[in-house]
Amino acid sequence: MSQPNVVLHVADVHKRFGGLHALADIDLQVEEGQTHAIIGPNGAGKSTLLNVIIGKLAPSSGQVVFDGASLTGRKPYQINQLGIARVFQTPEIFAELSVLHNVMIPALAKRDGAFKLNMFRSLESEIGIRQEAEDMLEDVGMLGRRDMAAGSLSRGDKRRMELAMCLIQHPRLLLLDEPTAGMSRHDTNTTIELLKKIKSRGMTKVIIEHDMHVVFSLADKISVLAQGRIIADGTPDQVRGNPKVQEAYLGGAH
Amino acid sequence: MAAMPRNDLLLFLGFTLVVLAMPIWLQPFGAAYPDLLQRFMIFGIFAVGFNILFGLTGYLSFGHAAFFGVGSYAAVWSFKLLSLDVIPALIFAIVVSGVFALVIGFISLRRSGIYFSILTLAFAQMSYNMAYSVLTPITNGETGLQLTLSDPRYLDRAIFEAVPGQPVPTLLGQSLGGFAGFYFCAGFLIIAFFIAQRITGSPFGMMLKGIKTNQTRMHYTGFNTKPYTLAAFVISGMYAGLAGALLAVTDPLAGAERMQWTASGEVVLMTILGGAGTLVGPVIGAWLIKYFENIFSAINDSILRRFFDFLPDGVDSAMVTVASKFVGEGWFLTLGLVFVIIVIFLPGGIMEGVRRIAHLFNRAPKAPGKANPQPQPAE
């Protein structure tokens, strides 16, 4: 077999906030097409790591390499244009706009780039983009709500719509920050099914999650983070049997 | 350009009709004279342009009077140096105010929210003070920039001998006094409205709304928001410049007071009063404020005394004393009160009131008195 293609490489990343060493010596390789989960107790640095990858925070040292290009120093919009999309812990959506427009905006970003002064073109004439957005909404089962204001959706629907906003860009890498947090069991299962469906299309994903049910039903590989360090790395079975992981999780419970 | 959607076309035609018929339907309100109608058009353009920035992107500029004033000065300079014809004056004014907006916008848009507002306010006050002081050679200071018989007017003199008499701006030799001036300005308001409508309904307009709703998401969606906000800022600055130039056409005297912060605040009031983010709201806001300003500031004590004449002695003079605080020079007190009431009870402005009433009529036959949390349709 040939060498697996590493899409994302977090290389020797450190992040300090004053005296706090939030991330230490993080080395992480995400292979193409895989779902890579990052788990760990609260305060382990999971969100910090995600923010470093997406360009919201600059690493104190080390770098993040995506598909051969360093992400250090790039702005979030440039990182997105390289093919990385992100689902937030609290959905970041356009609350005042319709569901359809919420999904059309990212599709336009994909087609037109970071800036285009197309102010004399009518939105109604964007039939291709509109069709694409409607197909996407159909995929996530939200076509019926397309004309509602996004802000009036239920929490679960907001998340599904945000996922649709990311998926319509066909990103090479999708970052998911606790995609099922605060969801009912039913909504969680729907989301898992949806994420499995994406996986079959070969999209690479990095997922941060608390819910072990979600992690073990989706992940190909798991990295365990505790106190800013990766303490274990491997397939779900390897991680499950790792004594250090059990200590990190159970140790906090005492 | 693709055909307009049906609803947009109807709105545009309706708006055009209402504007062109103003000399007729404003007759009963005593407002159908050219001077006031021209001001309706000019401040309508100002508010429509301001709304492209504030209504769509949510960036509240407190300094748009600077662009208005710059437009006026540029137009008068074009009358003095080039020609009395209004076309070069308008083009010159739009270009100059656009460049000016580009510079101020580039700096101010480094910040958002209240800091952006303060920066724009500071720049506008700086422009105002400079127009009074160091820039006197350009602005003629307190006296204001005027047309004189000895102006060079190179373009005019190259073509024909200077016409004797008081210099007055013209359109291709036609005078723009009276209703001709109104229809000239009305044409520009209609074009301005049309462009604003196209922008609102374009992908660009949707990006501006996206920036207003959630700038963070715009960044993570791959948009560089800065050029979008800057473009909106420059467009609205050019609208303000056009409005300022048209004011100079109707009255070729440019003074620094047009740039003062009260003038900047006025266009904010117009937009919010009518309904920020809507297309017709700002225009209605501009018309109402200019109409009531005209009425209230004309009322004086003797009119009030006649009005309260039916009351017994003593009471009537008390009423006159109280009421006189709200009229004439005190008109701003009335405006402030109205504004407070609107913001508290109708934060979406008059257009929200219209929507609520329409909603009431639409829903009344089906579910009377039932406050159903209907999923509200997006804009």
CATH fold match for the domains A1-74+174-182+207-254 and A84-170? yes
The answer to whether residue B348 is domain-embedded is yes
Residues B327 and B255 in one domain: no
For chain B, percent of residues with pLDDT exceeding 90: 50
Say what the pLDDT of residue B241 is: 96
Mean pLDDT of all residues in B107-131 = 93
Same domain, B178 and B232: yes
Higher pLDDT, A190 or B220: B220
Q: Which pLDDT score, from 0 to 100, does residue B305 have?
A: 80
Looking at residue B92, its pLDDT comes to 95
Residue B367: the pLDDT is 44
Q: Are strands A173-177 and A204-208 parallel, antiparallel or unpaired?
A: parallel
Q: Give CA separation, B126 vs B117, B119, B301, in Å.
A: 14, 10, 37
- Cβ–Cβ contacts within 10 Å for residue B204, how many? 25
User: Chain A residues with CB inside 8 Å of B198's CB?
Assistant: 119-120, 122
Closest chain B residue to A56, measured at CA = B220
> Are the beta carbons of B1 and A120 separated by less than 8 Å?
yes
* Amino acid found at B368: P
**Distance, CA of A135 to CA of A132 (rounded, Å):** 5
Are B252 and B325 members of one domain?
no
What's the pLDDT at B164? 57
What is the rounded CA–CA span in Å between residue B234 and residue B50? 10
- Per-residue pLDDT band at B370 (split at 50, 70, 90): very low
Taking residues B14-36, what's their average pLDDT?
Answer: 89
Residue B229 sits in the same domain as residue B355: no
B172 touches chain A (CB under 8 A): no
- Sort out which chain B residues have CB atoms less than 8 A from A152's CB and list them: 375-376
Judging contacts by C-beta atoms under 8 Å, the chain B residues touching residue A51 are none
Measured between alpha carbons, how far is residue B288 from residues A6, B243, B353 in Å? Answer: 64, 17, 15
Residue B376: what pLDDT? 47
Residues 111-130 of A with CB under 8 A from B: 112-126
Give the Cα separation of A202 and B30 in Å (integer).
71
CATH number of A1-74+174-182+207-254: 3.40.50.300
The nearest CA of chain A is from the CA of B189 a distance in Å of 18
Tell which of B269, B295, B321 closes a domain: B295
Residues A28 and A10 sit within 8 Å (Cβ to Cβ): yes
What residue of B is the nearest CA neighbor of A78?
Answer: B222
Q: Is residue A51 less than 8 Å (CB to CB) from chain B?
A: no
**Which residues in chain A have Cβ-Cβ distances shorter than 8 Å to B214?**
92-95
Residue with tokens 């800022």: B233
Tokens of residue B166, six digits? 């008081």
> Would you state the structure tokens that stand for residue B148, as one six-digit string?
């004189």
Q: Are A65 and A26 in contact (CB under 8 A)?
A: no
Q: Is residue B59 part of a domain?
A: yes
Q: Are residues B55 and B137 in the same domain?
A: yes
In this structure, are B127 and B258 located in the same domain? yes
Last residue of a domain, one of B295, B315, B346: B295
Preferred mutation among A105, A118, A126, A127 to probe B, highest tally of B CBs within 10 A: A105
| Residue B160 pLDDT | 67
**Cα→Cα distances B20→B13, B23, B283, B375, Å:** 11, 7, 14, 38
List of residues 6+ apart from A208 with CB closer than 8 A: A37, A38, A39, A46, A47, A50, A176, A177, A178
Domain ranges of chain A: 1-74+174-182+207-254, 84-170
* Nearest by CB: B202 against A75, A109, A123: A123
Q: Of B255, B280, B295, which residue sits at a domain end?
A: B295
A-B interface: how many C-beta pairs under 8 angstroms?
130
The Cα of A65 is separated from the nearest Cα of chain B by a number of Å equal to 18
Architecture of domain A84-170: 3-Layer(aba) Sandwich (3.40)
Q: Are residues B194 and B289 in the same domain?
A: yes
Query: Which chain B residues touch A85 with a CB distance below 8 Å?
Result: 220
pLDDT digits (tens, 9 = 90+) for A143-184: 999 999 999 998 888 988 999 999 999 999 999 998 887 778
Asked if residue B266 and residue B184 are part of one domain, the reply reads: yes
Residue of A nearest to B277 (CA): A96
Name the band, by pLDDT with cuts 50, 70 and 90, for residue B379.
very low
Q: Which helix (H) or strand (E) holds B104?
A: helix B86-108
Per the model's pLDDT, the better-predicted residue between B256 and B58 turns out to be B58
Of B213, B224, B231, Cβ closest to residue A117 = B231
Please indicate, yes or no, whether residues B262 and B117 belong to a single structural domain of this protein.
yes
ipTM of the complex: 0.89
Q: Quick check: B206 and A114 CB within 8 A?
A: no
On whether the CB atoms of residues A24 and A12 are closer than 8 A, the answer is no
Nearest to A120 among B198, B209, B376 (CB): B198
Tell me what percent of the residues of chain B surpass a pLDDT of 70. 93
Number of domains in chain B: 2
Residue B208 to residue B225: CA distance in whole angstroms: 9
* In contact, B348 and B285? CB cutoff 8 Å: no
Indicate the SS3 state at residue A14: strand
Alpha helices in A33-73 (DSSP H): 46-54
User: From the list B1, B214, B231, which residue is nearest A93 (CB)?
Assistant: B214
| Mean residue pLDDT across chain B | 86
> From the list A54, A94, A126, which residue is nearest B217 (CB)?
A94
β-pairing, B145-146 vs A69-70, is unpaired
Q: Which residues contact B307 (CB under 8 A, 6 or more apart)?
A: none
Q: Return the sign of the alpha-carbon dihedral for residues A139, A142, A143, A146.
A: negative
pLDDT over 90 at B206, yes or no: yes
Mutate to test the interface with A, among B217, B229, B278, B352 (most CBs of A within 10 A): B217
Q: Which residues of chain A have pLDDT under 70?
A: 1-3, 250-254
Give the CA distances from residue B310 to residues B87, B315, B328, in Å, rounded to whole numbers and listed in that order.
54, 10, 22
Q: Are B200 and B59 in the same domain?
A: yes
For residue A77, which residues of chain B lie inside 8 Å, CB to CB? Answer: 218-225
B205 bridge partner residues: none
Picking from B61, B69, B52, B67, the residue whose alpha carbon sits closest to that of residue B108 is B61
pLDDT in tens, B317-364: 888 888 888 887 788 888 888 888 888 888 888 898 888 998 888 875
Roughly what angle, to the nearest 10 degrees, separates helices B281-298 and B261-274? 120
Q: Which among A81, A99, A122 has CB closest to B2?
A: A122
For B37-64, write each residue's pLDDT tens digit: 999 999 999 999 999 999 999 999 999 9
Query: What separation in angstroms does the CA of B217 have from each of A91, A156, B220, B225?
Result: 9, 18, 5, 10
Residues of chain A found within 8 Å of residue B378, distances taken between Cβ atoms: 96-99, 101, 147-150
> Residue B342's domain spans which residues?
299-371
